[in-house]
Structure 1
Amino acid sequence: MELTVDKDLENATLTVTATFAHPLEKVWELYADPRKMERWWGPPTHPATVVRHELTPGGTVHYFMTSPEGEQFHGIWRVLSVEPHVGFTADDFFADAEGTPVEGMPTTHMDYRFEATDGGARMVCVSRYDTTEELQKTLEMGMEEGLAGAMGQMEAVLAEG
């Protein structure tokens, strides 16, 4: 897998591009199958558990990541649009265990696109924030390192067949 992360502070966006030597259908399943998703979504030190998985327009994906100390960090996707094997859009926000947004924390507006390539597939995610300050806050929380660590686990899940 080849991974690039581009920060655009001026436009408050973070663009992640991952290229895989695996078929598009298998890459799509990393998001569409909650059991596969939870094996890579959190960084290695904060594994994810998917509580609810409705990757459909108007659906909700509720997950939490568990720290080495056992603390849980919940997140919710409000799914806006889905076109299987092509892409989806969702708003991702920090939440409590009941799914209520955590006040003062940024919302990530995610736009995922998937495409077949010669010999594999490419996934591009543009994460947009309402302000540059919100993007900066997530970067200071370790978002870039967390993304790289989490996505670095995708290959092992894809290799299983």
Structure 2
Amino acid sequence: MPVTAVHKDTTALTMTIVADFPVSQRRLWDAYADPRQIEKFWGPVTYPAKFLRHDMQVGGRSHYVMTGPEGDTSPGYWEFLNVDEPRRIEVRDGFAADDGTPKTDTPDMRMVFDFEGTDKGSRVTMTTHFNSLEELEQLIGMGMEEGTLSAMSQIDTVVTDLQAFAADRLTEAQILNDTQIRVSRVIRGTVQQVWDAHHDPEIMKRWLLGPDGWVMPVAEVAAKVGDIYRQEWEREDGTDRFGFTGELLESQPPYREVTTEQMIDTDYPPAQNEMTLTPVDGGTLLAIVITYPSADVRDAVLATGMTDGMETSYARLERMVLTAVQ
């Protein structure tokens, strides 16, 4: 158990938990910044979490769902109040509806995570600030302390696994639920560089091509919320042309955007893509949460080899574009 101290202060209305780890401060920070990692320890052992949104920037939000052994769910949210990489995270934490919106009839709390290096590795101090003694006693009575200790008992396994989340891993797709997947890859470039590579038409035409032998004659970018984008590809000989179009729904440059996506000249229901860019050791973690209209559509898209095509494009981005500007 990495937890070395637990202290409840009914005067200050706080609960403080201190935990030490045999890894660097940066490695510990990344475990909280990366949705693939934090969901392996944020929920208690018997209530593992899935993070359906995790844009760790001031004003950003997280939406997670913990699922119990009987299939019961407990959604929650974070609202990021302060992000001081790699030293401090401050969030508003509370219960959420199924769509991630905060519930107004349940308590929320302010949580501060302080990260520091130590002689033997690193330490995180998590201080939870309650709104009242009544809420402190209510949440402690609901098992918050036991649940937090159970969750933190899993962090050691995550932070000492240096392979599962290494920067040289290929593009991976993870099924989150019946209609959502998360595609993830660390790209060797800054957040701004990766953002620009997705929004400069001339740069996009150099790398966003999938397998070799294709070109991208159309790369129309949505400049503001409500605008329509359009992307088209064809083989180098001009055959087999296809493309996608959609609307820009949300945009917080250079960290996050949400778009719809529909194949041109079809009546297939559109998907929704949420792209988040997060600085991590080794580059920028690109995570795209894709929401499909059904599980059948999700599975059909995955069966096309989409992930392999994305990996080919991202590898080309690193090799032909980002290496030249670093």
TM-score by length of 1: 0.96
SS in 1 for 2:114: strand
State the partner residue of 1:152: 153
CA contact (8 A) 1:11 1:132 kept: no
CA contact (8 A) 1:61 1:78 kept: yes
Larger RCO, structure (CA 8 Å, separation 6 or more): 1
Amino acid at match of 2:51: V
Deviation string, structure 1 residues 127-160 (Cα, Å, up to 9, x no partner): 1011011111110110010011000000011121
- Residue 103 of structure 1 deviates from its aligned partner by 3.3
State the partner residue of 2:138: 137
CA contact (8 A) 2:111 2:129 kept: yes
State the partner residue of 1:42: 43
- Residue 71 of structure 1 deviates from its aligned partner by 1.1
Matched, 1:13 2:14: yes
Backbone CA RMSD of aligned residues: 1.0
State the partner residue of 2:32: 31
Q: How many Å separate the matches in 2 of 1:2 and 1:139?
A: 17
- Residue 3 of structure 1 deviates from its aligned partner by 3.0
TM-score by length of 2: 0.48
- Residue 102 of structure 1 deviates from its aligned partner by 2.4
Deviation string, structure 1 residues 96-135 (Cα, Å, up to 9, x no partner): 1112322331111011110111120111111101101111
CA contact (8 A) 2:6 2:17 kept: yes
| Runs of 5+ unmatched residues, structure 2 | 163-326
Q: How many Å separate the matches in 2 of 1:120 and 1:94?
A: 33
Amino acid at match of 2:111: M
State the partner residue of 1:68: 69
CA contact (8 A) 1:2 1:20 kept: no
Deviation string, structure 1 residues 1-31 (Cα, Å, up to 9, x no partner): 2432211112211111111111111110121
CA contact (8 A) 1:7 1:14 kept: yes
Amino acid at match of 2:158: V
Q: How many Å separate the matches in 2 of 1:17 and 1:152?
A: 12
Q: How many Å separate the matches in 2 of 1:67 and 1:2?
A: 24
CA contact (8 A) 2:52 2:64 kept: yes
SS in 2 for 1:97: coil
SS in 1 for 2:137: helix
Amino acid at match of 2:6: V
Matched, 1:96 2:97: yes
In terms of Rg, which structure is larger? 2
